[in-house]
């Protein structure tokens, strides 16, 4: 203060006479008020420093389209951090949704194919039962034929009219052998369909009991030939209905034609069996008009289902023709259809029936080939679709693990940047 007064005195002493003490004091007080008004010697407070910081940071506000992020506030900094974390993860979330959708679609396809495979396996098992019942029907029909012939004392007498090779083949069609074979297959059937309104066919146990009772009546001679045929036709109709409708063609992709061919071959061998028994009756005695019309109907259906199979699976025709080169069943069926006069001696009848049985066996061999192809297709498709799940599943796991790691690293980097920014700003204030 003394120095300032001294300077004032020197300043004013150049203008005139020296000032008195009162004048100097008044001048000093007035000068002090002016300095105070102008802010000279005043220390900056914390509030002014904060406002300076906000003003400086607000100059770097980020425009985000419809809104702006003010980096000078804590809320703005947090919002900016959320943007830095979430925006880079948008492509990751898109990939995650895409792979999850792909995985879900593949899993759905795999579930459908698993259901189809179950249907196919159940149908194939049930088709074996149908084939055994068809063989059983033929064996019983042969037994009735032997009893109806006066010059045949027993079934063994058929050996006098056929070769040893054919006699060995015919041994398979003894009623006792076919009964045991059918029982074995029936016991192995695990799934029994619930598609019939017939009481005895609702459960496997009911069918076993009813069928065993019917066999007993056949052996005791309480059933006529027509009653036996009606029974087996009805039973085979039930089993074929399940096999035909259990596998939905619309549920099958690239091997649907094999399924259709398989069904058609089963129908063809069934109608061949019905027509063959009527043909046997035609040769042994005259057919009534009703039975002759049934024979024509069965024969037309047999040929129609075979032709449909050849259209769906062309190479089956080649195997069919090669297997039946020496078989005269087709020729005899044509002659019977045209009502040609045929020699009804026992030798002709026996050989016709054996040709019919061999023809049925040939069709069943083709059925086995087609069934094997179906299983191969189903298993290959199942493995292929199952392998397609690996990549989407791997990517889903990888992306799920990547998201928290990415968030953690981004938060650490953003936090370090914010701390460095505050430290730099603080040092900038100290220097200035």
Question: Does residue 127 register a pLDDT over 50?
Answer: yes
For residues 254 and 171, what is the distance between their CA atoms, to the nearest angstrom? 41
For residues 341 and 335, what is the distance between their CA atoms, to the nearest angstrom? 8
How does residue 305 score in pLDDT terms, banded at 50, 70 and 90? very high
Q: Give the residue-averaged pLDDT of 100-126.
A: 85
In the Cβ-directed half-sphere of 259, how many Cα atoms lie within 13 Å? 22
Over pLDDT 70: what percentage of the chain?
75
Over pLDDT 90: what percentage of the chain?
12
**Three-class SS of residue 62?**
strand
Phi/psi at 82 (nearest 5 deg)? -60, -40
For residues 408 and 414, what is the distance between their CA atoms, to the nearest angstrom? 10
Q: 135-160 pLDDT, tens per residue? A: 999 888 888 888 877 677 677 777 77
Every domain of the chain and the residues it spans: 1-40, 100-390
Q: Which of 82, 71, 69 is nearest to 410 (CA)?
A: 82
How does residue 39 score in pLDDT terms, banded at 50, 70 and 90? very low
**Three-class SS of residue 63?**
strand
For residues 131 and 432, what is the distance between their CA atoms, to the nearest angstrom? 103
Question: Does residue 324 register a pLDDT over 90?
Answer: no
Phi/psi at 255 (nearest 5 deg)? -120, 25
Give the range among 18-27, 91-100, 132-141 with minimum mean pLDDT: 18-27
Q: 235-288 pLDDT, tens per residue? A: 888 888 888 777 665 455 567 788 888 889 999 999 999 999 888 888 887 778
Phi/psi at 344 (nearest 5 deg)? -95, 30
Question: Does residue 78 register a pLDDT over 60?
Answer: yes
Token digits of residue 317:
């025709």
Token digits of residue 267:
């129908």
How does residue 7 score in pLDDT terms, banded at 50, 70 and 90? very low
Give the range among 20-29, 180-189, 190-199, 388-397 with minimum mean pLDDT: 20-29
Question: Does residue 170 register a pLDDT over 90?
Answer: no
Question: Which residue's structure tokens are 């799920």?
Answer: 400
Question: Which pLDDT belongs to residue 351?
Answer: 85
For residues 318 and 268, what is the distance between their CA atoms, to the nearest angstrom? 17
For residues 347 and 329, what is the distance between their CA atoms, to the nearest angstrom? 15
Q: What average pLDDT does the chain have?
A: 78
Phi/psi at 266 (nearest 5 deg)? -60, -45
Q: Give the residue-averaged pLDDT of 175-186.
A: 90
Residues pairing with 68 in the sheet: 63
Environment class of 8 (CB within 10 Å of its CB; exposed 0-12, middle 13-18, buried 19+): middle
Q: Which of 231, 228, 258 is nearest to 144 (CA)?
A: 228
**What pTM was computed for the model?**
0.69
Question: Does residue 410 register a pLDDT over 50?
Answer: yes
What's 389's DSSP letter?
T
């Amino acid at each position: 203060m003394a120095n300032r007064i001294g300077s004032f005195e020197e300043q004013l002493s150049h203008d005139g006479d020296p000032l008195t003490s009162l004048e100097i004091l008044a001048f000093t007080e007035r000068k002090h008020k002016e300095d105070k008004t102008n802010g000279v010697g005043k220390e900056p407070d914390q509030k002014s420093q904060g406002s300076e910081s906000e003003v400086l940071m607000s100059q770097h506000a980020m425009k985000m389209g419809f809104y702006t992020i003010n980096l000078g506030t804590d809320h703005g900094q947090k919002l900016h951090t959320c943007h830095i974390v979430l925006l880079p993860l948008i492509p990751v979330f898109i990939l995650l949704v895409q792979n999850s959708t792909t995985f879900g679609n593949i899993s759905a396809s795999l579930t459908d194919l698993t259901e189809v495979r179950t249907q196919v396996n159940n149908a194939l098992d049930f088709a074996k039962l149908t084939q055994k019942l068809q063989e059983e029907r033929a064996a019983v029909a042969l037994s009735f034929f032997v009893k109806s012939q006066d010059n045949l004392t027993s079934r063994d007498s058929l050996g006098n009219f056929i070769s040893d090779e054919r006699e060995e083949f015919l041994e398979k069609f003894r009623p006792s052998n076919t009964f045991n074979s059918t029982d074995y297959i029936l016991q192995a059937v695990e799934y029994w369909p619930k598609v019939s309104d017939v009481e005895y066919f609702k459960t496997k146990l009911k069918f076993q009991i009813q069928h065993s009772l019917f066999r007993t009546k056949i052996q005791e001679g309480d059933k006529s030939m027509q009653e036996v045929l009606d029974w087996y036709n009805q039973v085979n109709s039930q089993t074929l209905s399940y096999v035909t409708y259990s596998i939905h063609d619309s549920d099958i992709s690239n091997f649907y034609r094999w399924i259709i061919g398989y069904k058609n071959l089963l129908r063809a061998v069934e109608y061949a069996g019905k027509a063959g028994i009527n043909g046997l009756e035609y040769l042994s005695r005259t057919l009534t008009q009703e039975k002759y019309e049934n024979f024509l109907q069965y024969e037309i259906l047999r040929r129609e289902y075979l032709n449909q199979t050849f259209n769906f699976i062309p190479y089956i025709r080649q195997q069919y023709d090669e297997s039946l080169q020496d078989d005269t069943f087709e020729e005899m069926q044509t002659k019977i259809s045209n009502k040609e006069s045929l020699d009804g001696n026992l030798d002709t009848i026996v050989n016709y029936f054996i040709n019919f049985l061999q023809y049925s066996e040939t069709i069943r061999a083709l059925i086995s080939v087609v069934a094997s192809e179906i299983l191969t297709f189903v298993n290959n498709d199942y493995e292929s679709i199952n392998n397609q799940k690996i990549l989407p599943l791997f990517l889903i796991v990888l992306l799920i693990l990547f998201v928290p790691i990415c968030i953690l690293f981004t938060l650490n980097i953003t936090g370090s940047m914010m701390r460095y920014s505050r430290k730099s700003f603080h040092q900038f204030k100290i220097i200035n």
